[in-house]
Structure 1
Amino acid sequence: MPTGTAIPDAREQLFAAAERVLLRDGVQSLTSRAVTAEAGVAKGVLHRHFADFDDFLVELIRDRISVMRARSAELMSTVGSGSVVDNVTDALVLMFTSVATRMVGLITVRDELRIRLRAAGHEGVPVATDAAWMIREYLAAEREQGRLRPDADLDSIGLTLIGGGQLLYESGTPDFEAVRRLAVSTLAGAIADHAR
C-alpha cells in the first residue's frame, strides 16, 4: 500500500486482521507487525490510529464487548419464552466464538492490557466478566418471571456457565450438545418445577 493512501475503515481492517492472527497463530503471535502484515498495510497505519499496540488491543476488546452487549439485548428478548436451557445454550454458542476465548487468554497474559482495561472501567477479565454479567441479567429476568426458583444463586450459575463455556471452547469449538449439557447440568436445580 503506497504511503499516504487513505485506507477505508482502517480500524475495522486492523481489528479483523488481529482476530485472524489470534485464531490462526495464537495469543503469543499477536504483535503489531503480525497484525499489519495480516491486514496488508504499513506498520505506521496502526500507530496513526492508536497510541501504541496496547491501546490498539484495548480498543479491539472494547469493540468486541460492544458486540457482546448487542447479543445481550437479543438474549433479553427471549425472557419468558422458549426453554431457559435452550436460551442459555444459544447465548453461550453466540458468545463463545473461538476469538472470544482467545481474547480472554490475551487479557490474561498481557499485564499492561489488563491495567489499561481496568483504568477504562472494565472489571475482572473483560469479555468473560461481560459474558457472566449478560447471563446473570438474563437469569434474573427469568427469575422475576417465575421460571427460576427464588433461591437460585444467579452469581454462581453465571460464573459456572461462563467458566465451563470457556473450558469447552479452549480446545476448539464443541458441538452444540456439549454446550447444552453444560447448561442442563448447571441449571438443573435452579429451574422452577412448573417451567421444566
Structure 2
Amino acid sequence: MAGTLYITGDKAADGLLNKDGTALLIGMLLDQQVPMEWAFGGPAKLKERLGHLDARKIAAMDVDDFVAVCAEKPSIHRFPGAMGKRIHQVCVVLADEYGGKATNIWKGVDTGAELYRRLHALPGYGEEKSRIFVAILAKTQGVRPEGWQDAAGKFGDDIPRSVADIDGPESLAKVREWKKAQKAAKRDKPVS
C-alpha cells in the first residue's frame, strides 16, 4: 500500500498513513472534534510512543495502560481517554477478525457495499465515517471495489469536501474552503 493522501503537513506522518492500513484506519477514527491534521497525525505519535502500530500488541495491552499512552502530552486527541478506548476496541476487532491487519478489511473485497459493511461494523465507524473511508481508499489508496462510489455516497463525487479529496496543499485548501462555506451556509439559514 502506498497512497497519495496528504493531510498532516508532516512527510513522515503522511507516509505512515499511506503505507500502513492500521495507521490510516486509526487516523480516520480520530477525525472528529479536532482539526484533520491533529487527527491524522495521531497514528505517528502512537507509533513513536509504542515503537509500533501492531493491532495485536495494542489489543493485548491493558486498556488503561494504552489510554495513558494516548493521554501523554501532547495527547493524540482532544478526548484522549474516550478515543484511546475506541482505538483499543478497533485493535481488538482487527486482532480477532482480521489477522491483526487493517488492510485485511479491504483486501480482496468484491463490492463497495461489503467494504462499507465491514467498516461500519467497527467501533466508532458510523455511517458518514465509513463512507468517507471508502472514498479515502478509492481516491488515495487505489482500493476500488465494484460499486465503491455508491458505498461512498456524496464522498465519492468530485467535489473536494473531505479528507478523501486531499492529495496536496492545494486540495487541502479547497476542502477547507468547502467546509467553511458549508458552516457559513448553516449559520445563515433562517430559523423556522
Higher helix share: 1
Q: Which of the pair has more CA radius of gyration? A: 1
TM-score (norm 1): 0.28
TM-score (norm 2): 0.29
